[in-house]
Structure formats: C-alpha cells, structure tokens
Structure 1
C-alpha cells in the first residue's frame, strides 16, 4: 500500500533582482561555439537541501545567501547580464549588471516529513522553484532564477534554474562553491573564474574532421504512440554496491574493472531499449557526456577556473535487435569506444560542425543522453550549514528532451550511500523498464537469491 504524497504550502516573498555588490564591466561577451548549440538552449532545475545547523542559530539563510550572491556576482558578473542572439544564431552575454532573479520563501514542512523522498521527483517541486511566464526561454531573460525556502525545522532548500548555455556540471560546482565560500565569510572565491570562451570557438574557416553521429538528423518512425508523448512520468532508481556487484558479474571478464558509470549506463540503455519495444532494425543511440577539459593536452592549465561548457556527447549506435540480443558486454563495448573518441580535435570539430550546421540539435529519435554527476559532488556545497542532504538535478530529462538522465550520488534516510538514476518515460514504458531492470538484477548468472535492493519511486 502506497502512502499519500507529501503536500505542503510555500509562502513566497516578493521577487527581487540581486545585482553585483560592486561595479562590474559593461561589455558583450561571446559564448563559445560549444555553449550555444541548440541542444543546450534550455534551463535545468537544480536543488540543494540542507539540515538545521545549531551553530547557525539566529542566522536567516535567505538573507545570508542573498548577500553572498550579490558579492559572488562581482566575480561571475556575466550571470547578472542577459543573453542576446546575433548573426548566424550566435549567442552572447550582454553584461548589463541587471542581476539575478531571487526569491525568498518559507514552507510549512520539515525535512523529516519528506522521509525518503529527498530525491527526484521531489514532492511539490513546483512550489520550491519560482516560475515566471516564459521561464523556459533563455533570450533576454535573467540568466539565473533562484529560490531559497526556509523550513519549519530550521533547514532550508535552495533551487536554481541554471541556463545550460552558460556552463556545464563542472561550471555549476565551481559557481556553487564560490557562492558557498563567500557565504561562509571568504572575501573572494578560492578558484578565480575565467571566461576564455575563445578556447572553444570554431576555426576560420571551420572544418569538420570527425564523424558526429550524435547530430545525424533522423525522421521518427510511424510507430510513435500518442500515449508515449502525453503520459510522461518521473521515477528514480537506486543502485547500492551490492547491485553494482550483481551487474559486474554479467559482463565479460575483461570488463570486470570497468567504471561503475559505464556499467549503469549499459544497463540503462539495454533496459530502456527493451522497454520501448522497438522494431529490431531500428537504430538506437546512447550519448555519453564526456568532460573534455583533461583532453586538451597543451592547454589543460588554461581551463583552470573555466566555467563554460567543455564536453561532447559522442554517440554509441547500434540497432535495437543487436543491443537487446546481446549481453551487457556488447553495450559496454560500444559505450567505451564512443567515449574514447573525445579528444581535443573532436571537440574542435564539434565547434566547427555547429557553425556549418546552424547550431543544430542532437539526434532525438530513439536516443538517450547520460551524464556523470558523481565527480561534481554537489552535495558537498556548504553555505555554513554543513554538507547538504541532497545536491543535484531536480528531475530526469533535460529541457524539452525527456531522454536525458544523470547518475547522481545519493544517501538515503538510513544513511546508506548509493547511486541514483532519475529517468522519465511514459507510464507503460516506465513499468516495463522497472521489470527489465528487476529481471537483470535477479539474473541466475549471479549466485544469489536475495531480492534486488534498488528502490523504485512509487508509481
């Protein structure tokens, strides 16, 4: 029997524009040709949850974070500007200093009342992130939208609408750390932010030197069910170390030392494809976000403090029949090969591809994208109230594309560490996905009869 969903009321204060605490340059800054591709032109909701901290008694998190944000924007002043679009759909930031939209709020709920629900999908999330008409747009809008909500227990929740054209996961962590350091009393961030978007601009003339199957334009099949579009639901799946061990024995020996990220990615791709019930000859794609900062051999030090997007998502491509007719090792091999393609030249070729192909969207037909947020360690952001209870994405999906997901470290209410996979699918496909994952984790190839420990959010 499922429990009733948690319901609570949030009272928002008057929204305000938080501007840099000191004078900042009035200029126009170009985004890179990796930043402004169509696939990144959306806002991604992030959420950070904090317990009550006795040593901070008497301090209002809304006030502390608002003041620290104003000081942080002196260093990250482009965030206080507005995105504009120029010739050839080129995006740039007009550093107007107008500020970030900030909303303080209070909710009649405690963290204990959330129980084990402090993960995507969050109860009443629409109350925790201020929404304004047109908030899904990015042109000539505040680049950041932030809400800080006090809870009855003394804890608080920070939600952010993060404009993806301005930075990736590493950029999120860098900005959040800077904001948190200043909230704790620092006079400036320990890592100096640098713009340097020229590092990832197209060459003159641009030239495509690599194969980019992630941008192939494919028409959808005629088998798309209207229900698959209109009944999208969100659920999170959790993997404990014992679940990873179960998966690891299902792949060939030479993959026994593969990363946990690759292992879960292969499992996700396999289960999702089976759940979609595609025709065997239909192509399927898994695009893995690969941080390219370390791939720039000569320029690696140039990216210290760089908070723009610096990644590619090469596509592992096969047919539904081949993927579902082989073991997890087959998917794993394709995923590892695609990640190895990302070099400095590959990213440069992506930048050139964007200019030549009008900053086109990635392939969405039978595709999914996955990003590893374990290294970002967003839960460790500390505004003075200690490490967060949760830090990361607020839901699966990315902007208008539901096929995106993330692997996020998570600690449940019992204090157990696990990895979380928040996804969104139609109701029926989600049920089939859960069944496929359950079947894999119960595989007879693994010598155990215990019940899988992954946790599915309530349907």
Structure 2
C-alpha cells in the first residue's frame, strides 16, 4: 500500500492513563551492576509486534472490552491488555530488575536499583481496522511511530525506566504491542528471551521454560594496555553535503527471494569456489550488506577521497570459549568494522565490496577478538563521527530466536518492525528484518529498515529499484 493512501486515513486514538505493572510476588531489593557492553549501549530502542484479531485465527477465542464501544461487539471472551498485563506481572517476579530504575552513578557506570516500582504500560484504542494500515507492512514505516511508546522514559528525578509498553487495539479486534527498552539491559536475544517467558506465562505455564540469569560480571572487561585501535580515529572521514540535517525520513524496503537469488548469481559468476575463502559462496547478509552500504553512500553523495565504514553487529554467544550461562539476557554483542575509501565503495564492482566484507569479518569470529573488544570498551570506548554520514551500522534481526513467533494467545504476530526514533537517522543504524506474514510472495525474502536525510531518499529508492527489478543482466 502506498504511503499517500495510508495518510488519507484520519487516525484518531483514545489513550488510557499509564499504569505500572509490578511483580506478582515480593522480589529482592538490591543494586545490580551491568557489563562493559551494557554500559556502552545507553540508548533506547523501540519495536512492535502486530497481531490479527482472534476471529481471524482459526480455533482461537476473541475478546470484548467492556470499557469502550470501539471494539467489534461480535467478538467474545479475552482482552489482550488484561492477559498481557497479568503475564507481565508474573514475568517480572523472575525478571525483577526490569521493574526497577536505571541510574548512572558517580563513577559513570549504569546500575539497576531494584525497587519493584513497576514497568509503565499504556492501553490505547485506534479508530480503524489493521487492514486499513496494511498491518504496518508498507514502505512508509513512519506510521509505526503513532503506535509506539510516547510517554516519558524517566521519573521526576531523572531515573530511567528500563522498559515500557503500549498496546493499541483496533476496531477489527487486532492489536499492536510496542515496547521501548534501554539497550543497556538487553540485546535482541535477551529481549526475545524475556518476551517468550511472558508469552509462556500468558499461555498458562506456571513458570518460564528458561530461568533468567543476571551475572553481568561475566562480560566485564579488564583494563588493557593494548586496546583495539579506533579504525576511524585518524582517518580522512567521508562527509555528505546533505548532513547535518534535522529532516530525516524512514522507510522499510522489501527484497524478495528471487531478487536475492539474482544478486547472489551475479556476484558468484566470477568467483573461484575452490578457494578456502569462498568454499560456500556468499551469504545473504554479506550480499545485502554490501549493496545497502554502497547504496547509502551514493544517496548521501559522500566525497570520493573520504573513508567510510560499515559496523556489523555480531552476537558472541557462539564465539566465546567460556559459554555464557543459559538464561543470560544481557548484551552479548560486539562490532566488526569494514572500511573503504568512498570512491572504492561507490565505483568498484559490488563483488569487490562483498569480498572485502567477508575478509574483514573472518578475523572477528573468534573468542580472542570478542575478549579484546570487551576489554577495549572497558578501557577506552570507541567513538565515531556519525553526523558525517561515513558510518553505517547494520544489525540482523533474522536470528533473534522466536521474536517473530511470540504468542500471547492470539497466534504468532503477522508482522514485526522497529519503530523510528530520534537516533535512527543520525546513528546510521539499519536493520535487516525477516519478511512479514502479510505478503505471501515475500516468503524467503527479507526487509530492511533505513533512515536517511529526506534529500537522499529518492536516490536510495532508485538503487533499490535496480536490485529488485527482474533483470537477469543486472550490472553490479
């Protein structure tokens, strides 16, 4: 659905007062420290899940809300807000730090004060059916901000709530479930573990199948005399004439299975698969990472002689020699860096860019790199000039366990998307996403979320048309 059609729908909302979900049982009162990685990620992330009405799912009950006439009165039985709030209360008795406050102490480190004050939760009603907004599966992801958490992230003393939730019901009986969390508490795997536990409790289980483990000291680094060198510290950083700006736009692009196959075929035609380096060919991530990185550089019109870098987020759970305990839900991620001169990135064949990504990733996929990275951010965290446009951060949501399968009792979500925030544009943070279940033709494909200056979006869209058009002679 085109964004101009969506914008023609006048949406109105009825928001209830924010309430605080507290643990269902007494919990310890303590102050908990965070890991080195946690302390390096003090910013908020928002995302949402989209659920169809129960009547649209076979053999599932539907609900009625006695507090409003907005919901279709032919539905019966359960109210998702009530079910989810009760399950969260039970879940917080296990994940009790989340019901506290995140505080920066005098040493500059973040800690959780376990106060059991509760997690903010808001219930809302929207005056349309989910189908009217295409289940939020269109290119215009900006619309998702209307269903996100929009109340304060901190109390009157400036202490941060670790997370907050908002559930918006639609006239069809469907709903969206949005969450905002401080990244210092979770990585994608961690938030997924928590939401799976809540879904299990909503489904009638007496306790989560995986018990949470704090143990953030496991990933506290040591002060090192040989920290990793900042790859862009003394670089001739590329700059964009379109930055800085306050005018950012956000979009979510679809790349179907066939387009990915054509991209791989085009890249592989000149590769010697007998070399150890190319034993199994390129992954979908490597191919798309190269294409997105190059397309963004072209759209931003980066100066040719400046240097640009791709930051790839890597999960360390499978890389560490000493495995993290089962149930650990803190951040277990590091970054790998791929650097090129902008002219090389934008003008050489895409094959060379993707090969460079592969060559740069290989040294990062081991225990020693991960430990060195953690020691470095404990000693001297690396900081980059995001405002220049030279840095692109890429994360992959396709490997977050069961995030797109969270079932609170209304079947699994039909869609899962990030919500644009004020850091989305300036940070250069892009996300590769699994396809929604709205469009069957996207099975096997991917989506990706981007934020760009409004003046750059047209060029980026043209680059995307080259990728997704059915042209077997696509010149990359």
How far apart are residue 336 of structure 1 and its match?
Answer: 1.9
TM-score, normalised relative to structure 1: 0.88
Partner of residue 462, structure 2: 435
Instruction: Point out where structure 1 has 5 or more consecutive residues left out of the alignment.
Output: 450-459
Range moving further from structure 2, 398-407 or 13-22: 398-407
Partner of residue 457, structure 1: none
Given that 1:41 and 1:138 are in contact with CA atoms closer than 8 Å, whether structure 2 keeps it comes out as: no
Instruction: Point out where structure 2 has 5 or more consecutive residues left out of the alignment.
Output: 63-76
Report the Cα distance in structure 2 between the residues aligned to 1:235 and 1:219, rounded to whole angstroms: 30
Q: How does 1:164-243 map to 2 (within 5 A)?
A: 164-203=183-222, 205-213=223-231, 216=233, 224-225=241-242, 229-243=245-259
Report the Cα distance in structure 1 between the residues aligned to 2:139 and 2:207, rounded to whole angstroms: 33
Partner of residue 415, structure 1: 440
Report the Cα distance in structure 2 between the residues aligned to 1:47 and 1:439, rounded to whole angstroms: 30
Partner of residue 3, structure 1: 5
Aligned to 1:313, the other structure's residue is in SS state strand
Report the Cα distance in structure 2 between the residues aligned to 1:335 and 1:327, rounded to whole angstroms: 13
- Partner residue of 2:264 out of 239, 248, 253: 248
How far apart are residue 398 of structure 1 and its match?
Answer: 4.8
CA pair 184-116 structure 1, distance change in 2 beyond 3 A: closer
CA pair 36-79 structure 1, distance change in 2 beyond 3 A: same
CA pair 132-60 structure 1, distance change in 2 beyond 3 A: same
Q: How does 1:43-442 map to 2 (within 5 A)?
A: 43-54=44-55, 55-57=60-62, 58-115=77-134, 117-118=136-137, 121-122=140-141, 124-133=143-152, 140-203=159-222, 205-213=223-231, 216=233, 224-225=241-242, 229-252=245-268, 253=271, 254=273, 257-297=281-321, 299-300=322-323, 302-342=324-364, 343-357=366-380, 359-364=381-386, 365=388, 366-376=390-400, 377-395=402-420, 398=423, 401-411=426-436, 413-416=438-441, 417=443, 418-441=445-468
1:41 aligns with 2:60: no
Report the Cα distance in structure 2 between the residues aligned to 1:129 and 1:315, rounded to whole angstroms: 32
Deviation per residue, 1:402-421 (Å, 9 max, x gap): 41011111236342223111
Given that 1:10 and 1:128 are in contact with CA atoms closer than 8 Å, whether structure 2 keeps it comes out as: no
How far apart are residue 125 of structure 1 and its match?
Answer: 3.3
Partner of residue 68, structure 2: none
How far apart are residue 393 of structure 1 and its match?
Answer: 1.4
Given that 2:145 and 2:419 are in contact with CA atoms closer than 8 Å, whether structure 1 keeps it comes out as: no
Aligned to 1:340, the other structure's residue is in SS state helix
Partner of residue 71, structure 2: none
Deviation per residue, 1:106-133 (Å, 9 max, x gap): 2111111122643564464343223234
Deviation per residue, 1:279-307 (Å, 9 max, x gap): 2211000011111110112x22x342111
How far apart are residue 225 of structure 1 and its match?
Answer: 3.5
Deviation per residue, 1:302-325 (Å, 9 max, x gap): 342111111111110010111122
Q: CA RMSD in A?
A: 2.7
Given that 2:53 and 2:174 are in contact with CA atoms closer than 8 Å, whether structure 1 keeps it comes out as: yes
Report the Cα distance in structure 1 between the residues aligned to 2:208 and 2:156, rounded to whole angstroms: 30
Given that 2:136 and 2:415 are in contact with CA atoms closer than 8 Å, whether structure 1 keeps it comes out as: no
